[in-house]
Structure 1
């Protein structure tokens, strides 16, 4: 009798696991299609924009085409696939991280957008990218229009990470960021724990845009990546959300080639303190390696 019950449970568990695997696979396919659609729409909008401005004259038809493409792109962003069972487990972890940091209550009223991805690169590649200040100049030179890191004014350690304050300058007089921020501002980059990085950017009149990144390992070669953006800007919220979605997608699109190249390197070289540069722009990543590098393989995967 007991053997029959045990056998039945094993069969049920196998069926349940099979259902989860199928649901996870379908979710990944849907997410992949949605993610592939983002650069496709960006390319289409860019192509229409170049064609519209090529002759120095914008016709009514070209305006309608651009407006239609932008409307469809905005709709595509809001058609993000629902979370699979595995993704909901990660979201639960994400919420716990926010609550443990005391961020949820402080930022809830300023919430703007969230984006989530499964990226086919090791988790450590994402952390290395997020904590390297010079990547703002190199990897994102197009989207940030040659923004420069001109000075690191402060760096101090915390129990689980550290905080680095640095000044950025809008090098180009035509940089669109000048619309809502001063040419030179002091930005905060915070390592809260091995999974969570915060970027806090002043805008004007003490108002800020705060971006919280969560990078959670799925396995040795993949990680979940969450982007949560908060702001107290008194702008028309739907417009600001659309703008932030576009900016997030563009910067992630810029990240992909670099992350792919970084993933081809020896992972151990990214986790050895002796291999990390001593320059100030890498101070926060050095802190990460000091705290978590030796035991990184012991952090739980989510599969």
Structure 2
């Protein structure tokens, strides 16, 4: 009520220090001068309060939701006392905390670097380290990570690959991205749906990726000899450990653990995608080819003349070889 009276132009009552009980267990706070304190409440505007929130946020002082709640109580009391008819604090949005990319921290405690891509030397190290099978890791995602480092696929796209999407030839090898696995639990299923139409694309494979996929296909066939062709373990490139339809949630967690153990706690699967894009740019590959291979949305740039069907994406495979 004292805040409402003060905003209404009434003087604040004198505080009797002798009547104040000192509570040593309560953390002392630092007082900050408020720029809305001297404004009469009938002249206070939402813009005044919004500016004050921005100022307090820039100082890093106090809890903004708590401050807004105090204002709401004061303005509600002022309305009850008929000092104002409209509440200037209602619907007041809180300013979003500014967080530069370099200051972001992942859940594992690692800071995200500003340039979140791997150097060529780091890429070589990563590909070797993820081949090491940790005894406590049930789902081995080493091949998944290595394939991502050669193709720039999104993690859902890579984890949902079917063998019918993989075309391995003597002269030309490539992947077709046509859909991905949706659902959770026993309801997981592959569907020909993608977030954007530009994600439906052909991705060329460099020789190292071809060797990886050939070896993986042979191992899968040997392990499931006699199984039906419809068996998920034979249908998908990266089935679950038990041979079921790929589980993206499980794969994401396994990738995180694998990257941590490989010595790259700051890297994610998307880091591999950024690395492939950097390599293509460093090789002076036509931006239209990069967009076609990466599956970027042409609506954001090059919209007037990019045609994914008219570019030679095999140039990317030669650049990544």
TM-score, normalized by the shorter chain, greater than 0.5: no
Who wins on radius of gyration, i.e. which is larger? Answer: 2
Larger helix share, 1 or 2 = 1
Q: Normalized against structure 2, the TM-score is what?
A: 0.28
Name the structure, 1 or 2, with higher relative contact order (CA <8 Å, separation 6+). Answer: 1
